[in-house]
Structure 1
Amino acid sequence: MSIKHGLLALLDQGPRYGYQLRAEFESRTGSTWPLNVGQVYTTLGRLDRDGLVVPDGEDGEGHVFYRITGEGRRELQEWFEEPVSRAGRPRDELAIKLAMAVAVPGVDVTAVVQTQRAHTLRALQDYTRLKVRAAEDDLAWQLVLESLVFQAEAEVRWLDHCEARLARRDVVPPAAEPLPTAPPPGEAAAQDGPPKRGRIRRGKR
């Protein structure tokens, strides 16, 4: 999540101070990624340092407003034009947990998968209920919710796949019985012994 670019996008609509930025950021994302004011002001300080925003006066209560600069608008435009790099995303804790679990003796990996699936399904139900209740004209919140729904659905499918892989790994095939080998011809004759005499039937003369 880029707090930096999110704040620039908000400031592109006009000067704002820290509390306003936090409230609008959370409103746009449905409080999915809550911010504290400390994060906001720390980010504003870095943006000011890099020439992307500048202070733009204060109100009667001492709130310092910030305004985006031309360089800030160029930075924002580049952010919108470039794809989000997968290499730069946060590490997937669930994938790391399962990768470690399969290598640690004594861990019931199937139980780990099932516990996570139950949690993800509950989250998916919550997201779906929120989507039904979301206002039709709140496109930003609708898009965030749809992203969360799709991510949860994909995670459930991946967990199903993991459980199937674990089941195949845990199936131990039965030991095959060795096929009988035929003894050499001479040895076979010795084992059978001399041919038994049988009653010979003679034909009529």
Structure 2
Amino acid sequence: MWGLRKPFPELRTERFILRELENRDARELFKILSDDKVMYYYGSDPLVTVYEAKNVISYFKEQFTQGKAIRWAIADAQTNQLIGTIGFHNWLSQYHRAEIGFEVSQDYWQRGVASEAARAVLTYGFEEFALHRISALVAPENLASNALVQKLGFKAEGLLEDYAYSHGRFMDLTMYRMLASEWKG
């Protein structure tokens, strides 16, 4: 299990530090994960308390330790302020595959945050974690996320009808994939 053998990897991009989430991030994470617009396609309801954000941080740490997932904080390189998270989940190491997921504070939408962070995470996933396939599940009506994964080079494989349930409704999700041989960094 990779989580037990390695310290949490810190990545840097031009504008961001991708680092482990810490309890000090709880208030900022709560602001992000309590926003209805951010959470609309997330797959769970908005948080109600800062305590829930602390539980989310604990969950991400536990998943990393168990080698099941990794979730980086996306922090501003100048201020170290949390502005989102990104990472791999549904990790099946025996099949060399995982799913990528991310969310960014509404204050930073349309600024290339997810794109810049995703490029670093995808490169790390293929090169350091030896992933062969990375998937992304995106609601068809989530135009920004669909545009992002397509821009990154993901290929749509099909529509999963009524695959998720969130905000009192069933949601279709488009399955995208990127193979290691297709990643252009």
Normalising TM by the smaller chain, what interval? Answer: under 0.3
Q: Select the structure with the greater relative contact order (CA < 8 A; seq sep ≥ 6).
A: 2
Q: Give the greater-gyration-radius structure (CA).
A: 1
Q: By percentage of residues, which structure has more helix?
A: 1
Q: Normalised by the size of structure 1, how large is the TM-score? A: 0.23
